[in-house]
C-alpha cells in the first residue's frame, strides 16, 4: 500500500510539474510577445490574448496585498496537499487525485508569478461576456474545481467521502 501511494504521489508530482512548466511557458510568451502590444484577436468578438498584470486575486480582489495573498496561498496549498495524502488509493478516487493535482499546479503557478514579479501574468480575454482576463493556471483551477464538484455531487456516495472525517472509526 505504501509503495502504491508513493507511486501515485510521484505521478501527481510529475503531472503538477508539467502543468506548472506549461503555465510558466505561456506566461513567458505573454510577457515577451504581448506586453506593451495590442491584443491579439483569436476569435473576433469572442477571444483575445491581452496582457494584464493582476496585482490581486480572482476578479482583481485584494489588490496589492502580496503578503496576504502569498500567505493564504500557502495555507490553501497545504490543505490541498493534506487532502491528497488522505485520499484512499482506489480507482474510484483517481479523478479526485487529478483534480487536486490541477488545483495544486494552478495555485503554485500563480504563486511563482507573485514571488517573481509581485503580480500574476494574465493574458486570456474572453471578451464575449466581458469576463476578467485570466491565465493557464486559472484554467487548471476552474476546470479541476468543476470536475471535483461534479464528482462529489453526482458520482461518489456519502460513504465514499468518509476518509475526510476527523472522527475515529469503530475499527480503529
Active site residues per annotation: 122, 138
Question: CA-CA distance, 82 to 161, in Å (whole number)?
Answer: 15
CB of 86 closer than 8 Å to CB of 164: yes
Distances (CA, A) of 138 to 120, 157, 170: 10, 29, 41
CB neighbours of residue 167 within 10 Å? 7
Q: What are phi and psi of 166, to 5 degrees?
A: -90, -5
Amino acid at each position: 500500500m505504501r509503495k502504491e501511494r508513493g507511486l501515485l504521489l510521484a505521478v501527481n508530482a510529475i503531472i503538477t510539474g508539467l502543468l506548472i512548466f506549461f503555465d510558466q511557458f505561456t506566461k513567458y510568451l505573454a510577457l515577451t510577445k504581448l506586453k506593451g502590444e495590442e491584443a491579439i484577436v483569436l476569435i473576433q468578438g469572442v477571444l483575445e490574448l491581452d496582457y494584464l498584470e493582476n496585482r490581486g486575486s480572482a476578479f482583481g480582489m485584494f489588490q496589492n496585498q502580496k503578503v496576504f495573498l502569498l500567505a493564504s496561498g500557502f495555507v490553501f496549498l497545504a490543505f490541498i496537499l493534506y487532502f491528497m495524502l488522505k485520499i484512499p488509493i482506489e480507482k474510484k478516487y483517481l479523478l479526485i487525485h487529478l483534480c487536486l493535482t490541477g488545483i495544486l499546479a494552478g495555485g503554485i503557478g500563480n504563486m511563482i508569478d507573485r514571488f517573481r514579479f509581485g503580480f500574476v501574468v494574465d493574458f486570456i480575454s474572453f471578451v464575449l461576456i466581458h469576463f476578467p482576463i485570466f491565465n493557464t493556471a486559472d484554467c487548471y483551477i476552474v476546470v479541476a474545481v468543476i470536475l471535483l464538484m461534479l464528482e462529489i455531487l453526482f458520482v461518489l456516495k456519502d460513504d465514499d467521502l468518509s476518509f475526510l472525517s476527523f472522527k475515529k472509526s469503530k475499527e480503529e
